[in-house]
Amino acid sequence: PPGSIVLGIESSCDETGAGLVRVPEPGGAPQLLGHELASSSDQHARFGGVVPEIASRAHLESMTHTVRSAFAKAGVQRSDVSAVAVTCGPGLAGALLVGVAAAKAYAAAWDVPLYGVNHLAGHVAADTLEHGPLPTPSLALLVSGGHTQLLRIGDLAGDITEIGTTIDDAAGEAYDKVARILGLGYPGGPVIDRLAGQGDPTAIAFPRGLTGPRDARYDFSFSGLKTAVARWVEARQRAGEPVPVEDVCASFQEAVVDVLTAKTVRAATDLGIGTVLVAGGVAANGRLRALAQQRCDAAGLLLRVPRPGLCTDNGAMIAAVGALVAASGAAPSSPLLSGDPGLPV
């Protein structure tokens, strides 16, 4: 019921998240009460990407104290919780199972319903915690380490349609791979974002994937860009010349955000959708936020982007979807709920 509290649990990748939100009145937005995160990203850094086995173990170790800390931060009692929501996909199989098992245990112990939530819907719903109810339909650009999608949002509690996606690497994955090429560690997004600020985005003309006249209008491709960066850096090294890391970062980043924003604005315009939302870990990127704002303003579109702390994986965004689904009167998940690594939107 409106006013009651939902616990959300996230464990699809390398962040263990727990968040508490209040269920809205019909037509309203869930209210963030507090959330907590634990990350295993340091443990993956030397491998240049997430190691599933390490991530699963870290979730298992962090889960209970992360949930406890979320309650303390939110100033909420366990007896106030009326439902538990958990990411049930997409994500790493073993990592998902830790969160689903924990959520089932909490729901059973507190005798409250359990809602399995799609991680991608969670990223989009994160914005409602900051900016209120989303006008419908909206167009969401979801850019994370695992996904790059354009989604038409009819209703966050269920009506989400994919209208474009990456045909190879995700945008965040491209950041992480380029960081590995440059020896910058994992995750690559934040460090490239920072170094790009000191470089020249026009220094190197890297390719813009799938922007030819015959290319699928709303799909993305970043693997050619990653290869182009690798070749460019190798050629420099072979010639015995220094690699201008800041210029490579700035030029790579410009190629990514140019394509992301151009296709998003074109899709919104074509579909007659007036509100654009950018979500997912890459939405924390300073240049993406600035260029999206500039191009949405020029096209007369309203842009919404959550604050960086709500862009990356967290439990509050999962609780937000749980609250909206619960408010819609939908049935809870079955006790057979499991993790589905390839769960579609």
Give residues in contact with ligand KG4 (CB under 6 A).
13, 144-146, 172, 175-176, 187-190, 193, 280-282, 284-285, 312-313
**Of 37 and 107, CB closest to ligand KG4:** 37
21 touches 32 (CB < 8 A): yes
144 near Zn ion, rule: CB under 5 A = yes
Q: Rounded CA gap, 69 and 152, in Å?
A: 35
Q: Tell whether residue 119 is among the known ligand binding residues.
A: yes
**Of 193 and 313, CB closest to Zn ion:** 313
Do β-strands 81-89 and 148-155 pair in parallel, antiparallel, or remain unpaired?
A: unpaired
Q: In whole angstroms, how close is the CB of 143 to ligand KG4 at the nearest point? A: 7
Task: Look at residues 257, 316, 306 and name the one whose alpha carbon lies nearest to residue 284.
Answer: 306
DSSP secondary structure string for all residues of 66-128: HHHHHHHHHT--GGGEEEEEEEEESS-HHHHHHHHHHHHHHHHHHT--EEEEEHHHHHHHHHH
148 near Zn ion, rule: CB under 5 A = no
**Of 153 and 327, CB closest to Zn ion:** 153
Q: In whole angstroms, how close is the CB of 255 to ligand KG4 at the nearest point? A: 13
Instruction: Measure CA of the first residue to CA of the last residue in the chain; give whole Å.
Output: 26
Q: Tell whether residue 329 is among the known ligand binding residues.
A: no
Do β-strands 114-118 and 81-89 pair in parallel, antiparallel, or remain unpaired?
A: parallel
Q: In whole angstroms, how close is the CB of 286 to ligand KG4 at the nearest point? A: 7
Assign 170 to helix, strand or coil. coil
**Of 145 and 332, CB closest to ligand KG4:** 145
Q: Which two tokens stand for residue 173?
A: 């994955």
In Å, how far from its chain's centre is CA 206? 25
Q: In whole angstroms, how close is the CB of 43 to ligand KG4 at the nearest point? A: 15
Task: Look at residues 248, 237, 241, 256 and name the one whose alpha carbon lies nearest to residue 204.
Answer: 248
**Of 103 and 233, CB closest to Zn ion:** 103
Q: In whole angstroms, how close is the CB of 168 to Zn ion at the nearest point? A: 18
Among Zn ion, ligand KG4, none, what binds residue 172 when CB lies within 5 to 8 Å by partner kind? ligand KG4
**Of 89 and 189, CB closest to ligand KG4:** 189
Among Zn ion, ligand KG4, none, what binds residue 188 when CB lies within 5 to 8 Å by partner kind? ligand KG4
Q: Tell whether residue 99 is among the known ligand binding residues.
A: no
Q: In whole angstroms, how close is the CB of 122 to ligand KG4 at the nearest point? A: 9
Q: In whole angstroms, how close is the CB of 312 to Zn ion at the nearest point? A: 7
Q: In whole angstroms, how close is the CB of 201 to ligand KG4 at the nearest point? A: 14
Q: Rounded CA gap, 116 and 317, in Å?
A: 13
Size of the site for Zn ion (CB under 5 A): 2
Q: Tell whether residue 146 is among the known ligand binding residues.
A: yes
Exposure letters 290-305 (e unless 16+ CB within 10 A, then b): ebbeebbeeeebebbb
Q: Tell whether residue 297 is among the known ligand binding residues.
A: no
Contacts (CB under 5 A) with Zn ion, residues 252-271: none
Tell me, residue by residue from 290 to 329, as one string, x for binding to Zn ion by CB under 5 A and - for no binding.
Answer: -----------------------x----------------
Q: Rounded CA gap, 277 and 250, in Å?
A: 24
- 3-state SS track over 134-152: CCCCEEEEEECCCCEEEEE
Q: Tell whether residue 197 is among the known ligand binding residues.
A: no
Q: Rounded CA gap, 217 and 165, in Å?
A: 10
**Of 40 and 144, CB closest to Zn ion:** 144
Q: Tell whether residue 123 is among the known ligand binding residues.
A: yes
Q: Examine residue 90 and say whether the peptide bond preceding it is cis (omega within 30 degrees of 0).
A: yes
Annotated binding site: 119, 123, 142-146, 176, 189, 193, 285, 313
| Residues near Zn ion (CB under 5 A) | 144, 313
Annotated binding site for Fe cation: 119, 123, 313
Annotated binding site for substrate: 142-146, 176, 189, 193, 285
